[in-house]
Amino acid sequence: MSIELVTVTKEDIKTLWEMQIEAFRGLLEIYQDYDISPGAEGVDKVEARFNQPWTTYYFIVEGDTRVGAVRVVDKKDGSRKRISPIFVMPEYRGRGIAQAAILALEKIHGADSWCLDTILQEKGNCHLYEKMGYHRTGRIENINERMDIVFYEKD
């Protein structure tokens, strides 16, 4: 899998937001988590995160096509780096793109001291992160009767 991470610019925020809404639409419909789903966020929330000095958004690019995106929180103060969110557009899923993107992030930001969270009921997501060396912290947060969030770390 050959992908590239391309830093999102201020001019790209609307495109990033539109991709995020589309990528999370299916999960939002299933779990109806309107308070926390990236699929329910306004463009203003994405822009606010973009403006945080510790946040970097990347487009995941294959060839000339933006196939997804990922946000990294890296405060560069010894605290864990965080992936939140990462997404691949529906038509590109199941091809190892998210795995390649995580490996590329580790080359940029270092391979250790990461954290993330995902929907416990999404077994494919849990499998991906565990395959990438993440382990469950033991913390699980109930969101609603349909879903729970499970927390992961990688040392």
Chain-centroid distance of CA 30 in Å reads 18
The pLDDT value given to residue 142: 98
Is the distance from CB of 23 to CB of 39 less than 8 angstroms?
yes
Distance CA 126, CA 114 (A): 15
Is the distance from CB of 80 to CB of 31 less than 8 angstroms?
no
**Structural domains of the chain sorted by starting position, each given as residue range(s) with its CATH number in brackets:** 4-111 (3.40.630.30)
List, for residues 108-143, the tens digit of each pLDDT value: 999 999 999 999 999 999 999 999 999 999 999 999
Chain-centroid distance of CA 58 in Å reads 10
Amino acid at the residue 7: T
Distance CA 56, CA 67 (A): 17
Helix, coil or strand: residue 76: coil
pTM for the full model?
Answer: 0.96
Distance CA 132, CA 19 (A): 24
The pLDDT value given to residue 146: 96
Question: Would you say residue 1 has pLDDT above 80?
Answer: no
Distance CA 101, CA 67 (A): 11
Amino acid at the residue 80: R
List, for residues 16-71, the tens digit of each pLDDT value: 999 999 999 999 999 999 999 999 999 999 999 999 999 999 999 999 999 999 99
